[in-house]
Amino acid sequence: GSSAGADQTPTAEMRHHSRTLAQRFYELSAEQGGASSELRLGDYSYYGWGVAATFKDLDTTTAREASDDSLPLMFTNTEVEISAQPVDYEASLARYRKTAEMTVTGEWMSSFVARASFNLGFMYQFGLGVTQDLHTAKQHYHRCREVDPSGIHTPVTMVLLGLGMHLQYLRQIGR
């Protein structure tokens, strides 16, 4: 038989279900302006977690039968298809940017805005979803420090040192 401990280990299916459920709550919170939820949804897009919902494409025969010709099909199609969310850097950039540009209205927001700024810097430094731009990356890393002065700065310092070496390397190879 199996031990009781093994029964409590979350399976991949259980983790997927939990992430999907959490995603819906993050979406509801983000609609209310929640900085932490907006940041988390950026992570969902970056890593390809959760689900994506799209309207099913109806074939033309079904469409002709289903349509009453008064409205285009895009307004009358109600069949939704749920699929695993793919990695989507553009969507994560939009979520991170929205969070990074939020006005910090309370001390609790600083770390979320700072992390979104850091993530934007990283994506610009390595050209993930955007054209690589090391100067914009540097601005985002500095914004991270500026927004959360009491935060942990060792990772930011290290990444700025790495960015400096990255810039130096590109200068040496003539890019």
For 4-40, write each residue's pLDDT tens digit.
445 567 898 888 889 889 999 999 999 999 999 999 9
- Report d(CA 94, CA 155) in Å as an integer: 23
- Report d(CA 78, CA 64) in Å as an integer: 15
pLDDT in tens, 101-127: 999 998 899 999 999 999 999 999 999
* Beta carbons within 8 Å of 143's beta carbon, 6+ residues apart: 100, 114, 117, 121
- Report d(CA 35, CA 74) in Å as an integer: 32
Q: Is this prediction's pTM over 0.85?
A: no
Cα–Cα–Cα angle for 131, 135, 136, nearest 5°?
60
- Report d(CA 143, CA 132) in Å as an integer: 18
Residue 15: its pLDDT value, please?
A: 87
Q: Which helix (H) or strand (E) holds 55?
A: strand 51-55
DSSP state of 142: H
Q: What is the mean pLDDT of the chain?
A: 86
